[in-house]
Chains A and B, each alone.
Chain A
Amino acid sequence: MQTEESLLTDRPGLLAQPQAAELTAENVVVQFGGLAAISKVSLTVRRGDIFGLIGPNGAGKTTLVNCLTGFQAPTSGRVLLGGDATSGWSPDKFRKQGVARTFQAGRLFKEMTVLENVEVAAVGLGLTRRAAQLRAMALLDWVGLAPQANRIAGTLAYTDERRVGIARALILSPAFILLDEPAAGMSDAECEDLIEWVATIPDRFNCGVLLIEHNMRVIMGVCDRIHVLDGGRSLAEGTPAEIQENPAVMAAYLGMES
């Protein structure tokens, strides 16, 4: 009999594999026709860290996440997982290798139940339905959504929807989880609530988190490192303290507000 804890965080035998310690973008360029959405961006997300990715609208944050998860092939540059090249990997291959993500728009399977939403990712990773349900239920319990397990996902409150999306990405304990504006559209209080919870993920699941979020106060509070993008270019990277003192970042953000 497995304990609740192991159901939550271990990876079943078929997935056991040496887990990458780093997810790296190396001089990544993405060109959409004439528009350079990303220009020569390099960054590294480490296992166990919360890595903040910030920048104004259209800065290229989502495009970069798409590159790191197989949804967008870089025009040039490479994405490395634990030092291995990932070129040609499909999104499902990335997930199988331990790189999970959520979407800015949520993208739940709206007509399926909350439980099925989480279960199906474990099934995609190779579990039987029964084993997948067991783990999905343990995870929903941890998220606090077990009472909603049989609800149709499309009927959930906005904040719960986001949590289900994160649970779907967390199932079977990925090595990295990339959260694209998980708190978009939430009030400040709801946002703080959610991010406080997100902050517990790295320790609990021994994974690295990449977090995109616009609320500066919140992001400065939880991140180990922060990378700033602007117009597709890297503006700065460093600890929250360094970023707050960086003149280029200050200029970009002050410029944005005026």
Chain B
Amino acid sequence: MFIRTALRGLITPLLLILGVAVITFLGVLGGDQVQTSLTEMLIRMVVVVGMWIFVGNSGVISFGHVGFMCIGGYAAAWATVDPNWKSIMLTGLPDFLQNGQYPFPYAVIGGAVLAAVVAIVLGAAIMRLSGIAASIATFAFLMIVNSVYSNWDSVTGGTSSIIGIPTVVGPWVAFAFAAGAILLAYAFKSSRFGLMLRATREDEVAAKASAINVFRVRLAAFVLSAGVVGVGGALWAHFLGVLTADSFYLSLSFITLSMLVVGGLGSLTGAVVGVVVVTIVVEVLRALEGGIALGKATLSLPPGSQEIGLGLVLALIMIFRPSGLTRGREFRLPWLQSRAGVVVSNTAPATGE
């Protein structure tokens, strides 16, 4: 009985992690090209799962999370890049960053912390707004981050990139972080804060009448969410080895939001499935753009097909399955399904839903 209960609580994240592990395992058997796409997908999974912590549970769309990825990525790069290079190119950095060089784990923590701190300040200002107004404010935040990081030459290198970031992130490192993000996100969903936040998503007025401080629960989720996305940025930096502010802008925001929406905002399973499905669609379209040989002829789609194709997939899903591929449900094993009474089991009905 106890084991069943414990398993039931963990079954969704464990199944998701298992699924992602299988994909990772198959992917690393492939060539360099496949491994690169795989790592990219796993890092995006960290980012999208991080976004889901806020967006999925609160129902407030955020266009600004890629901004937190940018903040996390740069913070991590400041920590790990060679001090000799920094002292020439990034003269505005504080002493401990300019002259020091720190190991990768510190960089990840730094990325998470800086993103979370910025989220506290931003969230304190905008989490009192209504949903739509808050969404627009997050978009303004994305633009501000982009313009600060593109122009603050002495700290970010401006439009010239930061280079020489140690490329320590491969498929398995990225997988480990994706698994961690999934566990954390599920723990949040199941927590007191997760429950209260989901209530505010369903009905904000009734949530207030139920003693819920809407501002506080939204802010808590926003900060946690930004921290996870900041980790995603740090991973991204240590995967590519190069950073430019413009890579954290509209097209990445579009892709990550599509991933959330395609899978279904309502569930963590949706976030994970969305990342995998959108990645496959994008990769197939990319391959077609590059051209594939059919006998003697080469078939290739015109450049730009990738974006158009993704847009079409998104539109079709919105039309035929507005709540996403998972319809907001979590992935479970039917025979472990809880019936009634999380606590009082003697009143369990014969048939549940």
Contact = CB atoms under 8 A, between A and B. Distances in A.
Contact of B352 (A69, A130, A134, A151): A151
Interface in A124-164: 124-125, 128-130, 133-134, 137-138, 141, 146-152, 155
B213 interface: yes
The binding surface of chain A is classed by DSSP as: helix
A90 B202 contact: no
A100 interface: yes
A103 B344 contact: no
A133 B342 contact: yes
Interface residues of A, number: 42
Tell which of A110, A116, A124, A169 has the most Cβ of chain B within 10 Å. Answer: A124
Contact of A120 (B210, B339, B349): B210
A129 B344 contact: no
Interface string A71-115: 100000000000000000011100110001101000111111001
B317 interface: no
B337 to A, nearest CB: 10
Contact of A150 (B192, B205, B209, B353): B353
Contacts of B196: 120, 123-124
B191 interface: yes
Contacts of A124: 196, 199, 207, 210-213
A149 B353 contact: no
Q: Which secondary structure dominates where chain B touches chain A?
A: loop
B133 interface: no
A112 B198 contact: yes
Contact of B209 (A69, A133, A138): A69
Contact of A92 (B213, B339, B340): B213
A100 B209 contact: yes
Given A129-B191, A130-B343, A150 B210 contact: no
A41 B81 CA distance: 69
A96 B339 CA distance: 32
Nearest to A148: B349
B334 interface: no
B347 interface: yes
A107 B203 contact: yes
A146 B205 contact: no
Interface of A: 69, 71, 90-92, 95-96, 100-101, 103, 107-112, 115-116, 119-121, 123-125, 128-130, 133-134, 137-138, 141, 146-152, 155, 168-169
Interface of B: 190-192, 195-196, 198-199, 202-203, 205-214, 266, 328, 338-344, 347-349, 352-353
20 contacts: A91-B208, A92-B209, A96-B211, A100-B209, A107-B203, A107-B205, A109-B199, A109-B207, A119-B195, A120-B210, A129-B191, A129-B195, A133-B342, A137-B347, A147-B347, A147-B348, A149-B340, A149-B342, A150-B352, A151-B353
